[in-house]
Structure formats: C-alpha cells, structure tokens
A and B are shown apart, each in its own frame.
Chain A
Amino acid sequence: MAREKIYLEEVFPSPFMQLWGIFRKTPVAMIGFCCFIFLILLAIFAPILAPYTPVDGNLEMILLPPAWHTDGNVSYLLGTDELGRDMLSRLMYGTSLTFGLSFIVVIFSLVIGVVIGSLSALTRGLKSSFLNHFLDVVLSIPSLLLAIIIVAILGPGISNTVWAIAIVFIPQFIHITRYAVKEEFRKDYVLASRLDGASNFRILYYSVFPNIVERLMSQATLAQSAAILDIATLGFLGLGAQIPLPEWGAILANGLERFYIAPWTVYLPGLAILFAVVATNLVGEGIRHALKLRKEN
C-alpha cells in the first residue's frame, strides 16, 4: 500500500490534547464549559451589553418585579431594586466583580503557589518537614476565617477582599504542586533526563510541568468555585464590596431588608452565584473525569 505521508511525522497528540479530546465528548462538561466561556465574555463585555448603568436609579420605577410578573415592565427585564436600579444590568456588571475577580484571584495564587510549591518540592529534610507542618497548620484554618482576619487587618473593601482571598488560596496550590512534583520526580522519565544531564530547573520546566498541568487546572477550578463563594460571602457580610458596587453577594445583602416584598432582589443574585459556581464545578468535574479516562486508557 502506498504511504502518502512518508515524509510527514506521525502526529501523536500531547497529553493536553488527549485530555481535550475526551473532555469534548462529555456533553455535561461541554455545557459547563460553554457557560464558563459565556460568563467570561459577560465579565469582559458587561459595560457594552448592559442596558443601563449599575448605579443610576430611576426613581419612577422602584421595586419593579421581573417582566414575566403581571406588574412587570419589559424594559426592566429582571425588575428593579429599591432605588430603581435595573437588576439585569447590576447582575451583568456583577459578573465582572464576582466571577471575573475570582478568575484573577485564582490565576494569581496559582502562579505564586506553583512557583513556591515546585521550588519546595526540591528541598529535603528539616526544611521540607517544617514547610509541611506549616502548610498543615495554614490549611487547617478555614479559608473564609483567614480571609476575614486579613480583611480585618486591611479594612473592608473589594480590593482588600481580593488580596485576602488570593493569599488564602496560595497554600492550597503550594500543597498540590509540591505533592504532584514530588510524585513525578520519582518516575523513570525524570531519571532519564537527569542522566542526560538536565538540571533540576530544566526537568521541572520541560518534563514535569506538562504532566501535572491538568491536575493544577482541576485544583484551579475547585479553588475558583470556592473563590466565587468567598467573594460573595464577604460581600454579603458587608466586608467585601462596598455599597454602590454591584457585587452579587452585596446585592443580595442589600435586598435583605425587602426580602418579603421584593423577593427577586434576593433570589436573582443567589441564582447568579449558583449558576457561576455550577458552571465552574462542571468544568472541573469534566477535567477530572477526562483525567481518569486518560489514565485508564
């Protein structure tokens, strides 16, 4: 039989592309992934897409129920709050605060955690044992409690919340990177490149990282769903985003006083948080599922 591709190298998909191939075939994971992309786009383009500004109120349209309600007005699709601010616009702008910031927080702590974690994986003995115990201590303090303490030091506000949550998530990433890198370093392919004379840094960068990147991504989605919940919780407690900012948790806390007469100001932001967290978790679940299948093959 004639081999037409004789001069072309046979393409063998990289671990990452194999993962994507399996991931793509899971419908639930793809739905989650689409929702995730949708939220990212919304977070970036909210100012263009939103029909109104999130802070300007229309005092003639106070506490309007959503449009499907008999008293609703279709130009305010999801109703208005007690100052006549459009709920839809506020929720859209809130995407960039709650969801967008959680994304940035996770990337920030991922980078720092991976650097510290992979460096610490190369240490041994007393230093390593000390770090391990120290991480155990930090991880045993609940993340929200630690974030609250950091906010108490820095003072309330959205930027301080972001710092607090980023700091809180770093130990998790250190822990998982360290564990993963140590596990990879025991394998034979690392020994092979070490025999070739590769330095530790080179092994880390070219051999180990491509093999642990999916595990880090799976941890990152877990961290992001926790980050969304933490940002919203701090906003709800009044320690995060301050009054005019349309952060989902803060909107919810704001609607609390009129919970009984205007329930949509409470359940809509809650649904938005739920949607974002479910989308993130579906993506994470899809990655873990694909990882498991790839390992089995």
Chain B
Amino acid sequence: MGIFWESLKEALYLLLSGDRQVWGIAFLSLSCAFWATLAASAIGLPAAFLLRYREFRLKNFVILILNTLQSVPTVAVGLFLYVFISRRGIFGPLDLLCSPKAISLGQFFLILPLLVMFALAAINRLDERYRQTDLTLGASPWQAALAVCREARFALVAALCASFGRGVAEVGVSMMLGGNIKGFTRAMTTAMALENDKGEFAMALSLGLVLLLVSFALNFALNFFQDHKGPNS
C-alpha cells in the first residue's frame, strides 16, 4: 500500500501545484470530448426526433444498427477511421491523423449512436400529449420540438453527460488516431496507460484523479440541476 499513498501524495501535489503537463493533458482530453459531444448532439438530437416522429422505411433497421454501434469497441472505431484519414486514405490530404481533431472526430463517431439512442429513449419516455398539446396550441413543429426538449431536459442532459463520459474515458480512439504525442495529442487515458507502463504511478494517478473529478463534477451538476429545477418544482 505504501506505493499507493506515496503516489497519491505526489499526485495531489502535482495537481495542486498546477503542473503544466498534467493540466495540459487534462485540458486536451476535456476539449476533445467537449467538441465531440457538441457535434454529436447537433446531429444526434435531430436524428432522435426524426426516429421518433417520422415514419420511413428501414427505420427499425436503423435503430437496430444504432443499438449495435452503442457497444462497438473504441479501437474498432479508431481502426475504421484510420483507414479514411491516414495518408493513403481518401481524407489523407486533410492531414488529420495524429491531431486533436482526429481524436474529436473518432469520439464523435463513437458517441453518436449512444447519444441518439439515449435521446430517443428520453423523448419516447415523455408523454405524447405534451407534443400534441404544443401543436394544438399553435406551436410549429420546430417550436414543439423545443418544447419537448424542455420537458425532457433531465433525461436529455443525462444523455449528453453519458456521451461526454464515454468520450472522455475512451483509450482506443485517442491512441490510434491521436497517437499519444506529448504536448499535442496526449490525452488523460493514453497518458495514464503510458505513465503506468513507465512506472510513473504518481503521474498516472493524478490523471486518474482528474478523470474521477470530472465525472464527479458532471454528476454533481446533473444532480444539482435535477434537484433545484425538478419537474415539479
């Protein structure tokens, strides 16, 4: 246990002393996951509405595929995208490989199915009368969609948190597309794996603590939001 306490002490010191490397890595991880979540919600939320309210052929098939993709291994997403963005791939000229953009892109594809299915579940759970009441009261389909989001906001925010969480905690995409380049594409998870391999437990542990802290902050915010602006208050 000695090594754990020693590492923990050092980890706390690194964090509290504002170690640039640790916080730089943390910032990169958070910003990559943030952009991925933002982009995934821009596409995923409307997609969830389409799946809920529009009838089209192969709809059930699309849902089946999305459900399957929810549990796709992160390395599979990384591998798949690698083919496209590597030098010889069709998006090779964009020079995305081994950049934070590549990590965001990979996380985007990773969390999109999750976000769509969580958002769909959130809207599905809401009583259909909310939307019908909106429409009969004169709301346009867009206004009605916004009102539905307003009523389902707790579940939707939970969906966003879960998606962000999956993005920030994944290793495969960051490793394969980002390349774990020090000071450039080194994310919390890839750095932890590396520092652990090197035997630098303090560094790994401090990053682990940041990850836990992020998770805690997200849940705390979610709880706060739900307690203070609960559906019935």
Whether both chains belong to one complex is answered with no
**Interface of A with B (CB < 8 Å)?**
none
Chain B residues close to A by CB (< 8 Å): none
